[in-house]
Amino acid sequence: MTIKINNNHFQFHPCGTAYWQEQDMLLISDVHLGKISHFRKFGSAVPHKAISKNFDELNAVTNRFQPGKVCFLGDLFHSVMNREWDLFEYWSKSVSAEIILVAGNHDVISPIKYEEIGISIFKELIIDNFLLTHHPEEREGFFNICGHIHPGFRLRGRGRQVLKLRCFYKSPHQLILPAFGEFTGNYMMQPEKEDKVFAITKNEVILIA
């Protein structure tokens, strides 16, 4: 699914990322690395293989687009450093792309640690008339691309079936990316008249009429 925003093209991928063609940039939000290890440390029955799934998805999508830049729109890590940092450091060195982090509320790891592995950190990024942030923000003259909300959508069937799906959520001046990470949860959106919902299934992204 490719959409056009302000004469720029964004390709939505079923893993929850958006590839910005004109900037050769892969946008990823709310990976929440470290969350699974944190839960397991305190006794939650979260399967260990969920950790590797996050990195498998990162590998798959970066191999798919071969971007020049990878921009994480906040909450890359969920907690303080744990063993998943070592896995992330290994992954970051395995990709040729420049890696950028727009810091979110969960990103409490020292910026020095990111700088040591060649990752730049910003509070926000302005590229032409696009404003990249973690929290949704309205600013006159800019189209905001963000995360944080973990948007989801309920599809209801005639037989009262309910299917909850992650989604890309677009309003006239904003695009909210879905959470990339495993076990992040979703906030069910209530679209206004001009909003658009792009629901994510296992193999495709679908515009909901």
pLDDT in tens, 154-166: 887 776 778 889 9
The pLDDT value recorded for residue 160 is 72
Strands 196-200 and 162-171 come out as antiparallel
State yes or no: pLDDT of 189 exceeds 90.
yes
- pLDDT mean over 90-108: 92
pLDDT in tens, 23-59: 999 999 999 887 655 444 544 545 556 678 889 999 9
The Cα-based distances of 63 to 14, 93, 94 in angstroms read 14, 14, 11
Domain ranges of the chain: 2-208
State yes or no: pLDDT of 104 exceeds 50.
yes
| pTM, to two decimals | 0.90
- The correct CATH number of 2-208 out of 3.60.21, 3.30.160, 2.160.20, 3.30.70 is 3.60.21
Is 1 within 8 Å of 9 (Cβ atoms)?
no
